[in-house]
Amino acid sequence: GRRKAADWQALYRQREEVRTKNAARAAVAYALRTGRLTRQPCIMCGNPKTQGHHADYNKPLEVQWLCRPCHLRHHAIRET
C-alpha cells in the first residue's frame, strides 16, 4: 500500500502542470519572504488572512488575494 502510494505520488509530481503549479507557489512564497509581494486583504470580503490565487500558473507573481472560504467558493463556482 505505502509503496504504491509513493510510486503514484512520484509520477504525479513529474507531470508538467504539477511542476508549473508548484513553481508558481514557491515563487509567491519567495516573493513574500523577500518583500517583492505583500499579502493583501481578500478581494471579495476584505478578510486580512489570505491565500494567493493564480489564474495562470505561467504568470507566478500575478495573484489574486482570497481568504480560504472565498478561495474555495471561487473554485467551486468555476468547476460547476
List of long-range contacts for 36-42, beta carbons under 8 Å, 24+ apart? 36/61, 37/61, 37/63, 39/65, 40/65, 41/65, 42/66, 42/67, 42/70
Write out pLDDT tens, residues 9-67: 888 777 888 889 999 999 999 999 999 999 999 999 999 999 999 999 999 999 999 99
**Which has the closest alpha carbon to 67: 80, 79, 51?**
51
Write out pLDDT tens, residues 4-15: 998 888 887 778
Q: In angstroms, rounded to a whole number, what is the distance separating the alpha carbons of residues 64 and 57?
A: 12
Contact criterion met (CB below 8 Å) for 60 and 54: yes
User: Residue 27's pLDDT is what?
Assistant: 98
